[in-house]
């Protein structure tokens, strides 16, 4: 009888353990696999979406006119000016887009914790660029435009100049702002680029006319 009881106890223990083990392995498989699949599918979906929009929107003319207008614009003002410069010069145009777009909250300069305040307070920050990389081969002149943030160039401009070679290229900075001048931003960009012939930059008003742009460019020669 004692022997029967110990056999029964041993069987219960074995079944009990394998049942537990079974539950556990089902749990692990059940919980992680769909999750892993789902998150990797989501990540892939996001990447494809980003890559797709980059390709669709990156307006790089591969034939090249020898002149390129490069700009970053968070709210459209610099974009408008960049397009006028491109129209006047017959240049190709390339937009620097942030991989992580700037939201209205990010752009709030009244918030000491906003993304832009933090970025501008740290000169070493290099926000990632989301637009397809542009080749500067064949360009002799580049106009490079941006809004003034806290008296300087947005840090993403430093990302751009540090990831390109301006050897043999004349670079002309321009900016838009609420009133501040171009300040040291052009010099900062030249220093960080480390190559190219950088001319003194200029602040252009949002309503600048094509004639004004023409006479500015004439004055550069």
CB of 24 to ligand FMN, least distance (A): 52
Annotate each residue in 161-180 with x if it binds ligand FMN (CB under 6 A) or - if it does not, as one string. Answer: ---------------xxxxx
Pick from 156, 129, 132, 128: nearest CA to 56:
132
Note whether 76 binds ligand FMN by CB under 6 A: yes
Size of the residue set binding ligand FMN (CB under 6 A): 20
Among positions 16, 34, 123, 151, the unique one binding ligand FMN when judged by CB under 6 A: 151
| CB nearer ligand FMN, residue 62 or residue 110 | 110
Among positions 18, 75, 103, 165, the unique one binding ligand FMN when judged by CB under 6 A: 75
Among positions 6, 150, 194, 210, the unique one binding ligand FMN when judged by CB under 6 A: 150
Note whether 109 binds ligand FMN by CB under 6 A: yes
Among positions 129, 148, 182, 208, the unique one binding ligand FMN when judged by CB under 6 A: 148
CB of 59 to ligand FMN, least distance (A): 16
Contact residues toward ligand FMN (CB under 6 A) are: 73-79, 107, 109, 116, 147-151, 176-180
């Amino acid at each position: 009888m004692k022997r029967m009881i110990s056999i029964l106890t041993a069987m219960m223990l074995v079944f009990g353990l394998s049942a537990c083990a079974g539950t556990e392995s089902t749990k692990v498989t059940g919980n992680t696999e769909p999750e892993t699949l789902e998150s990797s599918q989501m990540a892939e979906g996001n990447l494809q979406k980003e890559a797709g929009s980059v390709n669709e929107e990156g307006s790089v003319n591969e034939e090249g006119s020898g002149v390129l207008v490069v700009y970053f614009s968070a709210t459209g003002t610099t974009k408008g000016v960049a397009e006028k410069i491109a129209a006047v010069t017959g240049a190709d145009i390339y937009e620097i887009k942030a991989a992580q777009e700037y939201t209205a909250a990010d752009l709030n300069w009244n918030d000491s914790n906003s993304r832009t305040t933090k970025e501008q307070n740290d000169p070493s920050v290099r926000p990632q660029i989301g637009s397809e990389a542009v080749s500067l081969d064949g360009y002799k002149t580049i106009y490079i435009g941006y809004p003034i943030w806290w008296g300087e160039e947005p840090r993403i401009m430093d990302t751009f100049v540090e990831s390109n070679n301006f050897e043999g290229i004349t670079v002309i900075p321009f900016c838009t702002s609420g009133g501040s001048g171009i300040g040291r931003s052009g010099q900062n960009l030249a220093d960080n680029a480390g190559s190219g012939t950088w001319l003194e930059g200029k602040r252009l008003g949002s309503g600048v006319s094509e004639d004004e742009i023409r006479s500015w460019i004439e004055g550069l020669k």
